[in-house]
Amino acid sequence: MIHLCPISQLRDRLGGYVQAVARDGDRVVITRSGREVAGLVPMAELTLLDTASTRSMEYKAWQVAQELMRWRIVKEGLAALERERD
């Protein structure tokens, strides 16, 4: 279940919200002046988010490395053609 919680209310009832998140898997969306600013989620969900983010960055780095390798191969091939012409 998702709970909307003004930050002023969170200050007064933090223990209850943490318990609901840890025990029941609830989520708490913290608001300030009616705007959503942060949230409380179960630790398992945070771990999944962190893992997904890390894997995504590692995959992006791998893609960039592959693209650089392709350009290096093309550049070396062009240099070899230039040497053959001379």
Domain ranges of the chain: 2-41, 43-86
> Residues in the chain with pLDDT < 50?
none
The angle subtended at Cα 70 by Cα 84 and Cα 77, nearest 5°, is: 0
Q: How many angstroms separate the Cα of 41 from the Cα of each of 5, 59, 70?
A: 13, 26, 42
pTM above 0.75, yes or no: no
Which CATH code of 3.40.1620.10, 2.40.50.100, 3.30.70.120, 3.40.50.620 fits the domain covering 2-41?
3.40.1620.10
Tokens representing 25 are 């898997």
pLDDT value at position 19?
94
pLDDT value at position 26?
92
